[in-house]
Amino acid sequence: MKESYIYILSNKNRSVFYTGVTADFSTRMRSHLEGNGSIFCKKYNVNELIYYELFMNITDAIQREKEIKGWRREKKLDLIKRRNPELKNLLKRGDKF
């Protein structure tokens, strides 16, 4: 089985959250940083990684993504702040993947 990830991205003001899933974290993050991640992310300038989780298979990751997508903003924010209390961007443009 291949490692997979769920992740939450936000814009600079932290006013919008985007939850995604991928089996190729490096390529997906590079796409988001380059503005090619998704139409939603491009429209709202959502390109800062603020949270992620690792899974040992894609099925579990997809299930978790669906769970988180069903949550209200406050619950998502609580989850993020447990690991990233300052809501810092975990990716930088110069990061190598």
DSSP output for 34-86: TT-S-HHHHHTT--EEEEEEEESSHHHHHHHHHHHHTS-HHHHHHHHHHH-TT
- Residue 26: enclosing H or E segment and its boundaries? helix 25-33
The two tokens of residue 78 are 């609580």
Residue 94 predicted with pLDDT over 80:
no
Task: Indicate which CATH number applies to the domain containing 28.
Answer: 3.40.1440.10
**Residue 37 — very low, low, confident or very high, per pLDDT cuts 50/70/90?**
confident
Work out how many domains the chain is built from and give that number: 1
- Tokens 């491009």 locate to 42
Mean pLDDT for the stretch of residues 71-76: 98
Domain range holding 37?
A: 4-83
The predicted pLDDT at position 97 comes to 44
β-pairing, 4-10 vs 17-22, is antiparallel
